[in-house]
């Protein structure tokens, strides 16, 4: 059986949490490998709704969860999330959750800088969540980050805080924001230490042992390819690499053993925050998609921008993200619409493009090239096999496969974990 890596194939919020939860029944370990608590996964199980930001979705299935070194971890947010899901009946202990000892920590000063910068940008805001993810990644690559393992060394913490505050307090003062006191931060870190350290270990070693033992590992990505810091719609992106290759670097796992790469894409398209969105709808149909799909950010609560499916964008994500098969989610949201559109490419200043170029002005100027298909009068909601789907829904799926040049191997038809049609088991490779 192969391992599976799950990543988003649009701008995030594609329903990865539900898919990972469904796939976790076939896995032994579930691994988060990038991002922070700016990414939210919503899982509906019976009458319980779990909203996860840092915890791997497999914990809901009773599987071991691993937070890899590529994740930036806010200790307060992690402990609050553990307490919240425990109150809902989940078992989260050092026996079920492991945290990379070399993962970077998000401190309160990171969130303060994040918010101060967004305020200073005014109308040119990027649309960050203000949770400190970007500034924490900056400290990581600048080699001044405080990591999980540092919590066990008070002297190391003290020395590193001197360097951090020299940099960040200067920046905060320049932005007109309050600065931070070293002793207050040090006391807070030392208070977190006994609660966080029991989860810490060299997770790369556990993953290598699991690989050698033939265990099935599911890698759970956050955000999506078009929010990748290199390959996305820069600068309106997240601060980490979201492509499948990051699963190796973000966990310490062998790149050759990442297994089948599964991309998640909605049957339409959404985006939270600022940035280009060629297939966005500003009309009644866009509002209808948002209402039917309950399109509000899991973490921020912000309404998502909605539009038609962008095949050119997903095809681009498939190529740069290493995606081998697609899960199409929320097809039931399209039920009853008389006409559907698919973006097949773009015109930019009179020229045709089959992809979204990297330059900001070109992205902003991109206009969609549409292909129109008939909708369907029947319902896809709750379908458990392709035989239960309306004929025009099947035609819509097949046309998208042709345009994105990749197979759709799973289809979700509702919010419940079993509202899923599997055409191919990704764990079979």
Q: Please say if 41 is a catalytic residue.
A: yes
Q: Taking the CA atoms of the chain, what radius of gyration do you get in angstroms?
A: 22
Q: At 152, list the tokens.
A: 């066990």
- List CB contacts of 358: < 8 A, sequence separation 6 or more: 234
* Among 21, 28, 37, 41, the one annotated catalytic: 41
User: Taken in order 316, 320, 322, 328, is the CA torsion positive or negative?
Assistant: negative
Q: How many CA atoms does the CB half-sphere of 21 hold within 13 Å?
A: 24
* Among 13, 21, 228, 332, the one annotated catalytic: 13
Q: At 220, list the tokens.
A: 């759970």
Contact present, 225 and 317 (Cβ < 8 Å)? yes
- Strand residue runs (E) in 197-316: 200-201, 217-220, 260-266, 269-271, 305-307, 309-310
Identify whether 235 is preceded by a cis peptide bond (ω within 30 of 0). Answer: yes
Q: At 417, list the tokens.
A: 């974990």
Instruction: Residue 418: count other Cβ atoms within 10 Å of its Cβ.
Output: 10
Instruction: Residue 214: count other Cβ atoms within 10 Å of its Cβ.
Output: 8
- List CB contacts of 42: < 8 A, sequence separation 6 or more: 17, 18, 49, 50, 51, 52, 298
Catalytic center residues:
13, 41
């Amino acid at each position: 059986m192969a391992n599976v890596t799950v990543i988003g194939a649009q701008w995030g919020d594609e329903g990865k949490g539900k898919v990972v939860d469904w796939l976790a029944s076939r896995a032994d370990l579930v691994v988060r490998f990038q991002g922070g608590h700016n990414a939210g996964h919503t899982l509906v199980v019976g009458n319980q709704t779990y909203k996860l930001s840092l915890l791997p979705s497999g914990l809901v299935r009773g599987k071991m969860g691993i937070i890899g070194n590529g994740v930036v971890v806010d200790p307060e947010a992690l402990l609050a999330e553990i307490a919240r899901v425990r109150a809902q009946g989940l078992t989260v202990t050092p026996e079920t959750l492991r945290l990379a000892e070399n993962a970077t920590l998000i401190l309160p000063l990171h969130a303060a800088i994040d918010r101060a910068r967004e305020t200073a940008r005014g109308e040119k805001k990027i649309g960050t969540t203000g949770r400190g993810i970007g500034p924490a990644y900056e400290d990581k690559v600048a080699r001044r980050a405080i990591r999980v393992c540092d919590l066990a060394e008070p002297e190391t913490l003290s020395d590193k805080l001197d360097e951090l505050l020299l940099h960040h307090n200067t920046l905060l003062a320049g932005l007109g924001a309050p600065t931070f006191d070293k002793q207050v931060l040090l006391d807070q870190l030392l208070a977190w230490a006994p609660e966080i350290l029991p989860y810490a270990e060299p997770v790369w070693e556990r993953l290598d042992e699991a690989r050698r033992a033939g265990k099935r590992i599911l890698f759970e990505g956050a955000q999506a390819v078009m929010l990748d810091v290199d390959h996305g719609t820069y600068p309106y992106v997240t601060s980490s690499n979201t492509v499948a290759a990051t699963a190796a670097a973000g966990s310490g796992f062998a790149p050759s053993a990442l297994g089948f790469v599964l991309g998640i894409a909605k049957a339409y398209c959404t985006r939270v925050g600022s940035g280009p969105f060629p297939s966005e709808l500003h009309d009644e149909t866009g509002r209808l998609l948002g209402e039917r799909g309950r399109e509000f950010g899991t973490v921020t609560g912000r309404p998502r921008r909605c539009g038609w499916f962008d095949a050119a964008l997903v095809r681009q994500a498939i190529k740069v993200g290493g995606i081998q098969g697609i899960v199409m989610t929320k097809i039931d949201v399209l039920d009853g619409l008389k006409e559907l559109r698919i973006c097949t490419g773009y015109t930019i200043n009179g020229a045709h493009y089959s992809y979204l170029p990297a330059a900001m002005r070109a992205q902003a100027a991109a206009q969609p090239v549409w292909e129109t298909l008939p909708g369907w009068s029947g319902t896809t909601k709750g379908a458990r096999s392709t035989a239960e789907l309306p004929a025009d829904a099947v035609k819509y799926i097949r046309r998208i496969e042709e345009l994105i040049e990749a197979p759709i191997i799973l289809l979700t038809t509702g919010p419940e974990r079993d509202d899923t049609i599997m055409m191919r088991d990704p764990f079979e490779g």
